[in-house]
């Protein structure tokens, strides 16, 4: 199981790759972080579905 710090580290690394791919612009760190969060979440869902054959349960709003 992944700990929150593991997930945060994956998000940080992804945000850094996004930042670099965009030419290292200044002032975009929050946008890059949110993009990375969505990408990491999508990857986690895909892995879960591959392992379990179904999407994870969504928390009710």
pLDDT of residue 1: 56
Gap between the Cα atoms of 36 and 16, Å rounded: 9
Per-residue pLDDT averaged across 10-37, rounded?
A: 97
Per-residue pLDDT averaged across 39-44, rounded?
A: 95
Note the pTM of the prediction, 2 decimals.
Answer: 0.76
Which among 7, 9, 55, 11 has a CA at the least distance from the CA of 36?
Answer: 11
- List CB contacts of 39: < 8 A, sequence separation 6 or more: 14
Per-residue pLDDT averaged across 34-60, rounded?
A: 88
Delimit the domains of the chain by residue range.
4-52
Label residue 44 exposed, middle or buried (CB < 10 Å: 0-12, 13-18, 19+): middle
């Amino acid at each position: 199981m992944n700990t929150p710090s593991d997930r945060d580290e994956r998000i940080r690394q992804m945000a850094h790759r996004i930042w670099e791919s965009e030419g290292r612009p200044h002032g975009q760190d929050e946008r890059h972080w949110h993009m990375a969060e969505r990408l990491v979440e999508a990857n986690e869902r895909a892995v879960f579905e591959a392992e379990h054959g179904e999407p994870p349960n969504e928390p009710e709003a």
